Amino acid sequence: MLAVPRWTSSPSARRLVWPALGLLLAVLAVVETAIDETFRFPLVTALPGVAVGAVVALCTRAPGAAALAGALSVLGNYALGTPGPGGAQLIGMAVLVGHAAAVLPVRRGLRAAAVATLVVVAAGIAFGPSTWEGVFYLVVTATAWAVGALVRQSHQRSLELQSLAARLAGQQEAVAGAAVVAERARIAREVHDSVAHAVSVMVLQMGGLRRLLPDHPEAQEVLLGLERLGRESVDEMRRVVGILRDRADGDTAPPPSLSRLDAVVAELRAGGMPVELVVTGEPAELPPLVDVSAVRVVQEALCNVVRHAGAAATRVEVAWTPRRVTVTVTDDGRSRVPQPPAAPGGHGQLHMRERVAVAGGDLSVGPVRGGGYRVRAGFPVPAPVSAPAVVGA
């Protein structure tokens, strides 16, 4: 398909460009013949120039054939007894060659220019008064083809720049969306680090205070209610913070859960790490804080296996009982991939202990006899309880 350069912005105006140019060249050819006082050729000798103007008006339909037709017009000049094309006719012939070079593929445009040049050169040698007529037209044709090729190159670069601008606009939208998501994640981390940690410490302190008051059941009941309220507040805050971590497409990412632990294991298997997942017992519904903490412990333990044991064979166990759920991650200590250098000053165990403590669980980590390492975390599975009685004044 031909890609005609857009000389004007209006489609209707673009359709009139070539007919107007052809009419102008035809009129100039007639005027040129009429006012010529040197040769005084009859007006009929302007017909080749008028024919070239008509070809220019229709050149958009078949650019290659139009360039050849313009070259053949010189035969009409020689047949009418003139020494060659006039100025207006010569300009029209050059325009036809340049237009073919601008809108046709490079090889086809070059072939059209070469054929048109050969026709005029051969006609000039055979019928012209001098062979220099053909050489002169060769220069004109080469110049016209070069200008047309430059126009074509400029048009192609314009299209490429438009495409690049569209891609850049899309990338800018993607970067802006990623920046929004990153900012939401940063705010979520700040909220978690400041508020969740403070509330969690308060819950732990109230638990310690409750254990120090064995002889005050009413105070213990109040403190137990405050502990429960504190954990529920942390859970609610985590759900609210989750809104800030929405995906860019508007869908909310599902929170981590032991029910989706197989997806975590599948990602590591896809990366070449041999991981076995074993679930025993009847799964129960967990509070969000406990559910998320259990999954985070498993993820941190698996990351430590990759970091320190070189993706050793690992077994992930989830054991359910009516009042407790235990997650265990054990590796055999035999590296399957080259072990990267250990990162200095890791805080993985500290973070795991904080998470487990906030959720009311316990954590044990350490080496396994015979090689390997084990991380085990146990969490209580709360049973439905009635609200604590209000202590009267």
Cα–Cα distances (Å) from 168 to 162, 177, 247, in that order, read 10, 14, 22
Among 76, 87, 83, which Cα is nearest to 44's?
76
Task: Say how many C-beta atoms besides its own lie within 10 A of residue 330's C-beta.
Answer: 20
pLDDT at 387: 45
Do the beta carbons of residue 334 and residue 371 sit within 8 Å? yes
Q: How far apart are CA 28 and CA 13, in angstroms?
A: 22
**Which residue in this structure is represented by tokens 């698996």?**
302
Do the beta carbons of residue 5 and residue 102 sit within 8 Å? yes
Q: What is the pLDDT along the chain (393 residues), one digit of tens a residue?
A: 444 455 445 667 778 889 999 899 999 989 988 898 778 888 898 999 999 999 999 998 899 999 999 888 988 888 888 888 888 888 999 999 989 989 988 888 888 888 888 888 888 777 777 767 667 778 888 888 889 889 888 888 888 888 888 887 777 777 777 776 666 666 666 665 556 656 665 666 666 676 777 777 777 777 777 767 776 676 666 666 665 555 444 555 567 789 889 888 887 787 667 889 999 999 988 888 889 889 989 988 888 887 776 667 899 999 999 899 999 999 987 765 444 444 444 456 777 888 888 888 999 999 988 888 999 999 998 775 444 444 443
pLDDT at 186: 65
Q: How far apart are CA 142 and CA 136, in angstroms?
A: 10
Q: How far apart are CA 346 and CA 331, in angstroms?
A: 19
Q: How far apart are CA 338 and CA 279, in angstroms?
A: 30
DSSP string, 137-201: HHHHHHHHHHHHHHHHHHHHHHHHHHHHHHHHHHHHHHHHHHHHHHHHHHHHHHHIIIIIHHHHH
Do the beta carbons of residue 141 and residue 113 sit within 8 Å? yes
CB burial of residue 219 (10 Å; 0-12, 13-18, 19+): middle
User: 27-59 burial string, b = 16+ CB within 10 Å, else e?
Assistant: ebbbeebeeeeeeebeeebbbbbbbbbbbbbeb
The two beta strands, 362-367 and 324-331, are: unpaired
Do the beta carbons of residue 242 and residue 289 sit within 8 Å? no
pTM over 0.85? The answer is no
Cα-Cα end-to-end distance for the chain: 91
